[in-house]
C-alpha cells in the first residue's frame, strides 16, 4: 500500500485555501486510516543519513560496551534497552529488537532525566539532539492542523507539547540466525503517544491492520515521513482519530541476514496534560469511551504493560 501523501508547506506556507485543504485531507485520513506520509518536511537527506550512520555505528559496538549504557530505574526511557526485553501488550514473547532512547533536552521548565551520550561515538548525541528538534517542530505543525480539524484553536496543543516528554528511539532489529518460533521484529501494537514521526526505515517490514482485518505492507518514498496517530490522541478524541494497529514482520528467509534500523520519534505532551475526551467528540451516537487520565499516568500504565517498568 502506498500511503496517502501530503506536502507540509501546503499547510505551513500555503494560501488560506491550501491550508484548509491540507487540514481537510489530513483529518479524513486520520479518521479512517490513522497513517499518512508527509513530504517536503525539512528533515533533509544528508541529516537523515548522518543520523542513521551514527546510530548504526552504535549498534555495531560489542555487547559489553552497549551494556554500559543500560540505565537502571529509567524504564528504558533513556539509554540502551537490550535485545529481547520489550514485549508488545498482550504478547508473551519479546520483540526481536534492541533500542536506545533519548528524550527532551529543551524542557521549558519541565524536569526530565539527562540524555545519555556514547563516549565511543562522540558524534551520536549531537546528531540525535538536532534530529530531535527538527522532528519535534514538524510534529507541532502537524498537531496545529489536527487542532483545526477538531475545530480547536490552531495552537491548542502548543502549551502541552512545547517541551513535552517526547522520545527519539533508535531501533536495531538484528539479523535472524535461527527460526524465531512465534517472535517477530515488532508484534502488533499501537503507539502510546499523541503522534509518531518515522523516517524511512532501512529495510521493509512495516504493516498496518486495515478496517477489514487485513494486514497491508506499507510503502513510502525514502524522503517522506510516516506520521501516525497514537493512543493518547485517540483517547483525547474519543476514538474519532484512529490509532491504527501496526507491526514489523520478519523478512523472508533469504533476507534473514539483513538487519533493520528504524528511528521513530514519539511526540508526547507534558505529563500533566489531561487526556479527557474533548466535549466535541462525545455524542449520543459516540458516547464517552474512556475514563479521565493524565498523560503521565497513561504512560506509566503502558510502560508496565510492555515490560519496560516493573
Could you tell me the domains of the chain? 5-305 (2.60.120.330)
Instruction: State the pLDDT at residue 220.
Output: 81
SS (H, E, C) the chain: CECCEEECHHHHCCCHHHHHHHHHHHHHHHCCCCEEEEECCCCCHHHHHHHHHHHHHHHCCCHHHHHHHECCCCCCCCEEECCCCCCCCCCCCCCCCEEEEEECCCCCCCCCCCCCCCCCCCCHHHHHHHHHHHHHHHHHHHHHHHHHHCCCCCCCCHHHHCCCCCEEEEEEECCCCCCCCCCCCEEEECCCCCEEEEECCCCCCEEEECCCCCEEECECCCCCEEEEECHHHHHHCCCCCCCCCEEECCCCHHHCCCCEEEEEEEECCCCCCECCCCHHHCECCECCCCCCCEHHHHHHHHHHHCCCCC
Instruction: State the pLDDT at residue 309.
Output: 80
CA distances from 217 to 175, 190, 207, 260, 261 (A): 20, 16, 4, 16, 17
The answer to whether residue 184 scores a pLDDT higher than 90 is no
With a CB cutoff of 8 Å and minimum separation 6, the contacts of 234 are 190, 241, 242, 243
Give me 107's grid cell.
524542557
The answer to whether residue 270 scores a pLDDT higher than 70 is yes
The answer to whether residue 107 scores a pLDDT higher than 70 is no
C-alpha 126/C-alpha 118 separation (Å) is 11
Mean pLDDT in residue range 204-216: 89
Q: Pairing state of beta strands 98-103 and 215-217?
A: unpaired
Confidence of residue 201 (pLDDT cuts 50, 70, 90): low
Give me 131's grid cell.
534530529
pLDDT digits 0-9 by tens, 275-308 = 999 999 999 988 999 999 999 999 999 999 888 8
Tell me which of 182 and 115 has the higher pLDDT.
Answer: 115
C-alpha 225/C-alpha 151 separation (Å) is 25
pLDDT digits 0-9 by tens, 38-73 = 999 989 999 999 999 999 999 999 999 999 999 998
Instruction: State the pLDDT at residue 64.
Output: 97
The answer to whether residue 167 scores a pLDDT higher than 90 is yes
Q: What's the mean pLDDT when you consider all of the chain?
A: 92
Instruction: State the pLDDT at residue 219.
Output: 82
Amino acid at each position: 500500500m502506498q500511503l496517502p501523501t501530503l506536502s507540509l508547506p501546503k499547510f505551513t506556507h500555503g494560501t488560506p485555501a491550501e491550508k484548509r485543504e491540507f487540514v481537510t485531507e489530513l483529518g479524513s485520513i486520520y479518521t479512517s486510516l490513522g497513517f499518512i506520509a508527509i513530504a517536503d518536511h525539512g528533515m533533509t537527506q544528508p541529516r537523515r543519513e548522518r543520523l542513521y550512520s551514527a546510530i548504526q555505528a552504535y549498534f555495531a559496538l560489542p555487547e559489553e560496551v552497549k551494556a554500559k549504557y543500560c540505565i537502571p530505574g529509567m524504564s528504558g526511557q533513556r539509554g540502551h534497552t537490550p535485545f529481547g526485553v520489550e514485549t508488545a501488550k498482550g504478547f508473551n514473547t519479546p520483540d526481536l529488537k534492541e533500542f536506545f532512547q533519548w528524550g527532551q533536552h529543551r524542557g521549558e521548565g519541565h524536569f526530565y532525566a539527562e540524555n545519555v551520550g556514547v563516549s565511543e561515538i562522540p558524534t551520536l548525541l549531537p546528531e540525535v539532539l538536532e534530529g530531535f528538534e527538527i522532528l519535534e517542530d514538524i510534529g507541532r505543525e502537524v498537531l496545529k492542523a489536527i487542532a483545526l480539524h477538531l475545530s480547536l484553536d490552531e495552537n491548542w496543543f502548543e502549551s502541552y507539547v512545547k517541551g513535552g516528554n517526547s522520545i527519539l528511539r533508535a531501533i536495531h532489529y538484528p539479523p535472524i540466525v535461527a527460526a524465531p518460533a512465534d517472535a517477530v521484529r515488532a508484534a502488533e501494537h499501537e503507539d502510546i503517544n499523541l503522534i509518531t514521526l518515522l523516517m524511512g526505515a532501512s529495510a521493509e517490514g512495516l504493516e498496518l491492520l486495515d478496517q477489514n482485518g487485513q494486514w497491508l505492507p506499507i510503502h513510502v518514498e525514502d524522503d517522506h515521513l510516516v506520521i501516525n496517530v497514537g493512543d493518547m490522541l485517540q483517547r483525547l478524541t474519543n476514538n474519532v482519530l484512529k490509532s491504527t494497529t501496526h507491526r514489523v514482520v520478519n523478512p523472508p528467509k533469504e533476507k534473514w541476514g539483513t538487519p533493520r534500523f528504524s528511528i521513530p520519534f514519539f511526540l508526547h505532551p507534558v505529563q500533566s496534560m489531561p487526556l479527557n475526551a474533548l466535549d466535541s467528540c462525545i455524542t449520543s451516537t459516540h458516547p464517552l469511551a474512556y475514563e479521565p487520565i493524565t498523560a503521565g499516568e497513561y504512560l506509566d500504565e503502558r510502560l508496565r504493560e510492555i515490560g519496560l517498568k516493573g
